[in-house]
Amino acid sequence: MTMENSKQLKIAILGGGLGGLSSAVALRRSGHRVTIFERYDYAGEVGASLSCASNGGRWLHDWGIDPLKAKPVILKTLVRHDWSTGENEGVYELGDYEDKFGYPYYNFHRIDIHNVIKDYATSSEGEGVPCELLVNHKAIKVDYETGHIEFENGSTFDADLIVAADGIRSLTKPQIGISPKFKPSTSSCIRILFKTEDVLAKGLHDFSKNNSIEFWGGKDKNKIVLSPCSDNSVVSCYCFFENNGTDISDSWHNEISIETLLNSVPNLDPTLQTLFKECGYDIKQWRLYDHEPLPYFVKASTNGAKGVALLGDAAHAMMPDQSQGAVAAFEDSGALGYIFSPKFNSLSMEQRLKLYEEERKPRVTKIQAASLRARENLNERIGWSSSSDLKHEKKLTIEEVCGYDMKAHIDLLSKSLFS
Ligand SMILES: Cc1cc2nc3c(=O)[nH]c(=O)nc-3n(C[C@H](O)[C@H](O)[C@H](O)COP(=O)(O)OP(=O)(O)OC[C@H]3O[C@@H](n4cnc5c(N)ncnc54)[C@H](O)[C@@H]3O)c2cc1C
């Protein structure tokens, strides 16, 4: 893709998580010069599984990313187990996502997909100017009027467009006038991983080969979701439960003991308990928060020439119960890439930002609300229950999530807003 030089923007992306990196690829593909600023140096955290429904995979393909490089497992079925015995209560087809929506239901190991997108963003191969990635750059001041950014290490940067992909505790939000409203959830989540080679070596139950989401539903909000990733070499397990009173911070890095995990999910299937004790590693707990939708996602300068766009969790942190947080960030990136492509060169910065907000805000607000409801009621979960099980006006359906033609929608919005 070529771009009129006059429209090539200097773009700063704050945050090198999945949202920041995917927007870097998308904006690079649209012909811009992109610098990503990440506060840490990526040492340590590998994450657990990250499922990516067709509405996320669509964008990876659109940017020329080969998802197979991230060693996904393609999820095909859901297996339900009795909480305390593990007895198989039924196997449900998840439906052929690829056949229906064009792209499969990928299950990645977070570190794998993170590294692959990072490579595509910064590689000298592929369309567009390679993005620069600067680690140990924590943004501390963002001026939406001038595009000027200050970093904790003393450096500064001037951008035409600032993409704030700085996560759930985004420092940019207050600097563009937003005071986020959120409250702690009554639920919490612990993740634990097993290596397939360890499980096999110890002769324990191997969940890695089913290409399934294995589900244990317990009392109240307790549930366990287990799935294989990384070419089936790792099994990842999320345990959701009523808060256990453990005092933890907001970080992604709260290591906890196996005893805390077992006490949090009492009377659990002995097969799982044995796996936890014998093979579990990287056990971490997250706090969960219920975030209210933000009043706006973008802020343009008074003269309309510069601007800030919030993206990913910075714009719409949500409960993990629809597995749509990172996927929604991929959609945000797809929207930015498309809106800032030469097709919309006749629009000003302010108009492009407005178009982004008009497209993204209603859609992600609906997904955010449906994610919160799914924390309370499993029948709200898209793709796990047929849409006919539960009918109400706000019920999110798999068709509207995975079958969404965002480019066509943006074309329509652009016409109705600006012609
Ligand atoms: C238990 C759990 C399970 C989940 N499962 C799924 C799933 O299966 N599928 C799915 O789609 N989503 C899932 N999600 C949601 C998903 O993890 C998030 O939506 C996604 O990681 C958001 O990406 P992000 O880049 O917006 O934010 P983050 O991943 O939080 O990245 C933000 C980045 O910005 C950096 N940063 C922060 N402040 C600054 C600053 N001032 N300057 C510079 N850098 C800064 C941070 O260090 C970080 O690298 C899950 C979430 C949880 C909690």
Q: Tell me: the pLDDT tens digits for 133-154?
A: 999 999 999 999 999 999 999 9
Q: Which of 38, 118, 364 to mutate to test the pocket of ligand 1 (most atoms within 8 A of CB)?
A: 38
Q: Is residue 82 part of a domain?
A: no
Do 159 and 10 share a structural domain? yes
pLDDT in tens, 269-295: 999 999 999 999 999 998 899 999 999
The 10s digit of each residue's pLDDT in 291-320 is 999 999 999 999 999 999 999 999 999 999
Q: Which residues' Cβ are closer than 6 Å to ligand 1?
A: 14-20, 37-40, 50-51, 137-139, 165-168, 171, 189, 238, 286, 312-314, 320, 323-327, 329
Please tell me whether residues 410 and 335 are part of one structural domain. yes
User: 246, 261, 289 — which closes off a domain?
Assistant: 289
Find the mean pLDDT for residues 341-347: 97
Residue where a domain stops, chosen among 259, 289, 319: 289
Residue 231 sits in a domain of what CATH number? 3.30.9.30
Tokens of 9: 């923007």
Q: What share of the chain is helix, strand, coil (3-state, %, to 5)?
A: 35, 25, 40
pLDDT exceeds cutoff 90 at 249: no
Question: Which band of pLDDT confidence, cut at 50, 70 and 90, is reported for residue 246?
Answer: low
* pLDDT score for 1: 42
Asked if 324 and 285 sit in the same domain, the reply is no
- Nearest protein CA to atom 46 of ligand 1, as residue: 15
pLDDT of 371 reads: 95
**Host H or E run for residue 101:** helix 97-101
- The three-class DSSP label of residue 247 is coil
Give the domain CATH number at 115.
Answer: 3.50.50.60
Domain annotation covers residue 110: yes
Q: Burial of 143 by CB count in 10 Å (0-12 exposed, 13-18 middle, 19+ buried)?
A: middle
Burial of 351 (0-12, 13-18, 19+ CB in 10 A): middle
The one-character DSSP state at 17 is: S
Q: How far is CA 291 from CA 181, 187, 330, 365, in A?
A: 6, 14, 20, 10
Q: Give yes or no for a contact between 112 and 71, defined as CB atoms under 8 angstroms apart.
A: yes
Give the tens place of pLDDT for each residue, 13-26.
999 999 999 999 99
Evaluate whether residue 219 is within a structural domain: yes
- Residues 48 and 128 grouped into a single domain: yes
Do 57 and 70 contact (CB within 8 A), yes or no? no
* pLDDT confidence tier of residue 244, bands split at 50, 70 and 90: low
* Judgement on whether residues 29 and 120 belong to the same structural domain of the protein: yes
Mean pLDDT of 250-264: 85
Sign of the C-alpha dihedral, residues 49, 29, 159, 180? negative
Report the alpha-carbon distance of residue 264 to residue 256 in Å, rounded: 11
- Decide if 80 is inside a domain: no
Residues 258 and 309 in one domain: no
Give 391's contacts (C-beta < 8 A, 6+ positions apart): none
- Point out which residues pair with 190 in neighbouring strands: 239, 285
Q: Does residue 323 surpass a pLDDT of 80?
A: yes
Has residue 403 been placed in a domain? yes
Which residue has its alpha carbon closest to ligand 1 atom 9? 323
CA 166 to ligand 1 center in whole angstroms: 8
User: Do residues 232 and 267 both lie within one domain?
Assistant: yes
Q: Which residues span the domain enclosing 233?
A: 182-289
Average pLDDT of the residues of the chain: 93
99 and 11 in one domain? yes
Whether the pLDDT of residue 2 is over 50: the answer is no
The answer to the question of residue 87 being in a domain is no
Cα–Cα separations (whole angstroms), residue 267 to 86, 190, 385? 11, 16, 26
Let me know whether 116 and 227 are in one domain: no
Q: Sorting pLDDT into bands at 50, 70 and 90, what band is 359?
A: very high
Looking at the fold, whether 311 and 389 belong to one and the same domain comes out as: yes
Q: Which amino acid is at 8?
A: Q
pLDDT confidence tier of residue 240, bands split at 50, 70 and 90: very high
Asked which of 289, 308, 332 is the last residue of a domain, the reply is: 289
The pair of three-digit structure tokens given for residue 173, joined into one six-digit string: 């939000």
- Atom from ligand 1 closest to the CA of residue 171: 41
127: in domain? yes
10 Å Cβ neighbour count for 269?
20
122, part of any domain: yes
Q: Which of 36-50, 63-77, 326-340 has the lowest mean pLDDT?
A: 36-50
What is the Cα–Cα distance from 258 to 167, expressed in whole angstroms?
28
Q: Which residue's alpha carbon is at the smallest distance from atom 24 of ligand 1?
A: 19
Domain shared by 220 and 359, yes or no: no
What type of residue is 350?
E
The proportion of the chain whose per-residue pLDDT surpasses 70, expressed as a percent, equals 95
Residue 105 shares a structural domain with residue 207: no
- Residues 33-60: what's their mean pLDDT? 94
How many domains does one find in the chain? Answer: 2
Longest dimension (CA), the chain: 67
